[in-house]
Chains A and B, each alone.
Chain A
Amino acid sequence: MIKKLLLFVLLAGAGVMFWTGISDYEVKQDLNPIASYYADQGLEETGAANLVTAVVVRYRGLDTLGEVVILFLTASILGFFLIKRDGKNDFRESSEILKTASRLLEPIIILAGVYVFVNGHLTPGGGFQGGAILASALILAYLANPNDSISKTLLKITESFSGLSFVIIGVLGIILAGGFLDSTLLPAGSIGNLISAGVIPIIYLFVGLKVGSELAGIVTNLKYAPKNESE
């Protein structure tokens, strides 16, 4: 009883705290100075029509690198905890409908994922979203054929190569252009074209491959999670 009361007090307190935070929230009319700088100068400085991409890859590129590193650490720790020696689980065969549908859908999903991260600087989307779509195609493949397995070595090579290329592009930016991850390393090109915005599409390509292979690796590791010792 006292527990429930305490919980109620906690929730009510949190609710009041959050509500006072927003109750006198005034609807904004203008962008704050830094956002309006990004809106005004973003296209000129980066060449990316999608301003969110300009912020993610150029202005906060270091954050994105850190984010990719965190994802890599997660995948590594997962692999460390869920390691299984023989790597074989017996799963029930999936239904014929799922198998046939996955053969039809997988290429389309992969194509959609590649489209999303290749066009990240022009349309809504980007490396992380596209990578997640790529990984979803691999997860569908796992659901359809649970006893087949994607080569872990291939995933690791893709992931390491993409991560390394990301850092190398960043360092090349220091040497050849204005700074770490500077997108003016390559000419900006004409705005709105697929090949434009300097190195942003290349960075997003590597981010997409890296995120896709990492998420697929996480699912692979969770799939082969060890069963109870007693079994």
Chain B
Amino acid sequence: MITLEYITLGTGILLMLMGIWGLFTQKNLIKIVIGFTLVDTGIHILMVSIGHIKNRTAPIIDDAVNASEAADKVVDPIPQAMVLTAIVIGLGITALMLTFVVKMAKDNNSLNVSNFKSLKW
């Protein structure tokens, strides 16, 4: 039976596979970077869905969730905090990769990865 857990986990895995496919087949440097960000996003979805617990709410204590019974009512806050960190790091890495792409495109006048002879051995 298909439940919410399997939909989210499956989406994460599918995105990761699409990203890996992009990393290995695409010739355009910017498309390779897009493939990397797809893997990144897939991992984020996977992590958040692993932290999810059925019929529970967001880890914020307010009128709906009393402090005394919070442990029985909220989902796991740790994966969410980790994904928050991971998104920011992913942004930094993506910006860095795009910088290298700009630099490489400027030096070789091409975005096609096949034209970078210095990468071959």
Contacts and interface: CB of A to CB of B under 8 A. Distances in A.
Interface in A33-81: 34-36, 38-40, 42-44, 49-52, 54-56, 60, 63-64, 67, 70-71, 73-74, 77-78, 81
B99 A81 contact: yes
Contacts of B3: 27
B77 to A, nearest CB: 4
Contacts of A25: 5-6, 9
A32 B50 CA distance: 12
Consensus secondary structure, chain B interface: helix
B88 interface: yes
A39 B13 contact: no
Nearest to A74: B92
Interface in B7-52: 9, 13, 16-17, 20-21, 24-25, 52
Interface string B87-99: 1110111011011
- Chain B interface extent, by class: 35 or more
A50 B65 CA distance: 11
Contact of B17 (A15, A50, A73, A215): A15
A225 interface: yes
A60 B84 CA distance: 12
Contact of B53 (A10, A29, A60, A81): A29
Consensus secondary structure, chain A interface: helix
B81 interface: yes
B44 to A, nearest CB: 14
Interface in A185-211: 191-192, 211
Interface stretch (A109-117, A122-130, A155-163, A167-175): A122-130
Contacts of A140: none
Interface string B64-92: 00010011001011101100110111011
A77 B96 contact: yes
Given A35-B76, A82-B103, A226-B106, 4 more contacts: A43-B70, A70-B89, A124-B60, A222-B102
Which are the 6 A-B pairs with shortest beta-carbon distances? Answer: A74-B92, A51-B59, A55-B81, A36-B71, A39-B71, A51-B77
Interface of A: 7, 10-11, 14-15, 18-19, 22, 25, 27-32, 34-36, 38-40, 42-44, 49-52, 54-56, 60, 63-64, 67, 70-71, 73-74, 77-78, 81-82, 122-124, 126, 128, 191-192, 211, 215, 218, 222, 225-230
